[in-house]
Chain A
Amino acid sequence: MHYAPAPLHIPDGFLNLVVSLTFWALTIIAVGIAISKTNKALGEKQVPLMGIMAAFIFAAQMLNFPVAGGTSGHFLGGALAAIVLGPWAAILVMTAVIAVQGLLFQDGGLLVMGANIFNMGILTAMIGFGLYRMVSASANKTLKLAVAGVGAWISTVAAALLTSLQLWISGTSSLQIVVPAMLGVHVLIGIGEALVTVAALAFIMQARPDLLEAETVAEKGGRSWIAAGVIMSLAAVLLSPLASGDPDGLERVAEDFGFLQAGLEAPYQILPDYTIPFLGETALSTIVAGIVGALVVLGLMVVIGGMLKKRNA
């Protein structure tokens, strides 16, 4: 009901385990820091403010505006959230939004949720806030709005680019097709995002300028965000034409570094083909491997059980 799936949410099955777990690890680190940072800044007000803001992003994604030929522009909100709430709070807010979209509406998978949160929450916060932070102290409103718009646009394009690269490394799509398709669509979607972000920000500047004062913004995130934002933006801007104009070149580079192979070969196989290395490929080896597998599962169950019991007590 009233829910339109957004095109950047990757479902389960599209990313291989290595890519999924790598991005889960990055996301867990970022969210962990975000929790402690916002807790320090907001205290017990953290939960209600972040919760309502997450509901705001969720609801704002229903705001659409007719573009042409029956299609309409939608709003993702990651960059706006980062500019108004600060990057750490925005990461938490987007994490909650993407978690509920994946859990409740199956828009985006569970195993790949780390990648989804990174693409749409963390990367957009870095770029959106990082670029805005450069000019946040300036008195020139037009400049601030322009930079915010550019940040919103680049963050949308960068999220699309990273999504395509993840799909490619996972062996789901070929680079020659996915990059031009994704970038082509999101370069346009990004313009809509930028326009809505600028207009919303102008509105907030008028109505509640206290939320956007230079000192308030500085409190929300230090100057090191500028570096993160600029580096990520540059990477996106430089990599996009390379990836769409010369995909074969990028593929060659990836092969040279061997990381394409790593992605496809799945180094998660601790027991390759269910054989124990030193026993060779015999029936005994398979049986032993099966027993080892069963023991691992049993051990996991005992550990999980212990954790649950502790919580119950």
Chain B
Amino acid sequence: MSLEQSLQGSGPVVAVAEVREGRLAPLTRELAGLAGRLAALWGVEARLVVLDAAPGEPAATAARQTGLAVTALAAPELPELTGEAVARLLAGFLPAWQPRAIVGGHTTLGLDWAPSLAARLGAACLTGVEGLAEAADGPRFFRPGRHDKLVEEYRIEERTLVLTVQPGAFPAPPEEPLQPGPVTEITLPRPALRVRVREARPGVAADAALARAEVVVAAGLGVGKPENLELVRRVASLFSQAAVAGSRPVCDLGWLGYESQVGLTGATVAPRLYLACGISGARQHTVGMQGAGFIVAISQDPRAAIFQLADVCVVEDLLVFLPMLLELAGAGRGGEGE
């Protein structure tokens, strides 16, 4: 497939299922739902492909859950898929359908294959899509822009579009359809690959204290340096049943262990109170905590994306505000004779 070959699809909108360790991820139903809406808008068919070493069971599940026509694409020699493998397999298979659009998840693997596939197909690519609207000249797509501080609106010419969809942005309908979709299984030839999976291992289980905590005090890169985590820990100790958590970069830097990570590549938590300290509010993180009962965000940046989903916003320097909070809370406690 050459770069010059540009697809101008008039065929179906194709959702690409998310399969993790042989199981269909719930995100798939969201992708199928969006594919269905887009297909209706363009007056074309919506289809779902399930690509896996053994796609039979997840494909049957997907057909039952979405009602879409499902094509199970078997890659029997590839037990662990990489973006390279997915991009090559789909670039080999999908052009025959002349797809109008290809819809994947905005996940680590989705971001690994979607732009490469778009480049291979000569298609346009839009990542992190969170909204869809209908305009006179066709669909409009919305995605966050400028450090996720605003919402950008995009239009697309008559050209095949590869898009990745933010998990949770398009909730799936609660009921299953009356009729499961038909399933077709096709075994794909093994492509020539350069990237090889050496090992895949399960993630570090989330800290038990984090999972059951009623209060989570979370640190982002805004804490500046690991020594400042002590302040965050002391704030956590103001509450009973509290745990300290971190955003992805804080855990990758080793300032906190992976068992304390909240977000797409970590734990999803829903405590009564989530206190976000120096967290910018990247979607990577917010998908893991947006269900918290009460969200307080502290950041120096008045436009930080985290404030969009906060109940209370505190625009302050953490190193000034947290000591002040500790001092005043300590005084209050003393008064109560604790």
Partners in one complex: no
Using CB atoms and an 8 Å cutoff, list the residues of chain B in contact with chain A. none
